[in-house]
């Protein structure tokens, strides 16, 4: 820009003047507000300051509350994990993998969903928990939300295959529980996953 060419030499001069770091000789020229002492030698000319102890932070491990959330524990939860026995091995081979930063179910993973839906159809009382996981490259809360979105995407796919949504819980682990601990795509690709945990209702309920 023409204007820059005109101003540039003056800017350079000013920059040179300001270019000394704050820690070399030279101030930023700021003056301080004076609370009223002039020409006195250092001494106790302000009242001493007494600092009170901060209140202690207590934690009572026995105080974990069994209080129900608003609306009661059963609110919008058709079943809970303490009502079932999980069987992580049953569908371990059907873990679905996702592309980076995506919750879209890839077409190459769809055959696994067929197997999962068939298993649920063959055992009408069985429930399913879907875990959503991420690789380490996102921030923690972003990944917690993305992991949930992956689990929800798989639940939606199973809905479309005829499985009642009430049979399926989702849980996100964000990036907290990687399958592989490496720091490369080989590990990351194994961590971007949805895991199916088949669950059987405890007898007597």
Site for another protein in 173-202 (CB under 8 A): 173-174, 176-177, 183
Q: Which of 88, 89, 103, 118 binds another protein (CB under 8 A)?
A: 103
Q: Which of 97, 119, 126, 137 binds another protein (CB under 8 A)?
A: 137
Q: Give the binding-site size for another protein (rule: CB under 8 A).
A: 88
| Cα gap 91→148, rounded to integer Å | 19
Q: Given the complex with another protein, which of 26 and 118 has the nearer CB atom? A: 26
DSSP-assigned letter for residue 89: T
Contact positions with another protein (CB under 8 A) in 82-101: 82
Site string for another protein, 2-21 (x = CB under 8 A): -xx-xxx-xxx-xx--x--x
| Cα gap 142→174, rounded to integer Å | 8
Q: Which of 171, 179, 190, 200 binds another protein (CB under 8 A)?
A: 171
Residue 205 touching another protein (CB under 8 A): no
How near is the Cβ of 49 to another protein at its closest, in Å? Answer: 5
Q: Which of 119, 126, 142, 161 binds another protein (CB under 8 A)?
A: 142
- Check if the beta carbon of residue 178 is closer than 8 Å to that of residue 132: no
| Cα gap 205→127, rounded to integer Å | 14
Angle at 79 between CA 205 and CA 84, to 5 degrees: 55
- The interface region with another protein, picked from 65-73, 89-97, 107-115, 190-198 by CB under 8 A, is 65-73
- Check if the beta carbon of residue 113 is closer than 8 Å to that of residue 154: yes
Contact positions with another protein (CB under 8 A) in 18-57: 18, 21-25, 27-35, 37-55, 57
At 14, list the tokens: 């000013």
């Amino acid at each position: 820009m023409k204007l820059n060419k005109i101003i540039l030499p003056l800017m350079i001069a000013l920059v040179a003047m300001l270019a000394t770091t704050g820690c070399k000789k030279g101030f930023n020229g700021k003056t301080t507000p004076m609370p009223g002492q002039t020409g006195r030698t250092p001494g106790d000319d302000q009242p001493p300051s007494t600092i009170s102890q901060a209140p202690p932070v207590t934690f009572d491990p026995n105080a974990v509350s069994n209080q129900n959330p608003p609306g009661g524990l059963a609110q919008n939860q058709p079943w809970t994990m303490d009502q079932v026995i999980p069987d992580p091995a049953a569908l371990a081979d059907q873990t679905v993998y996702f592309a980076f930063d995506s919750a879209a179910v890839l077409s190459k993973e769809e055959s696994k969903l067929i197997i999962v839906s068939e298993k649920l159809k063959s055992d009408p009382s069985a429930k399913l928990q879907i875990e959503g996981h991420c690789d380490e490259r996102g921030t923690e809360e972003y990944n917690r939300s993305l992991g949930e979105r992956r689990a929800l995407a798989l639940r939606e796919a199973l809905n479309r295959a005829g499985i009642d949504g009430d049979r399926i819980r989702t849980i996100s682990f964000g990036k907290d529980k990687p399958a592989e601990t490496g720091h490369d795509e080989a590990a990351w690709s194994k961590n971007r996953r949805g895991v199916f945990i088949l669950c059987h209702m405890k007898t007597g309920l």
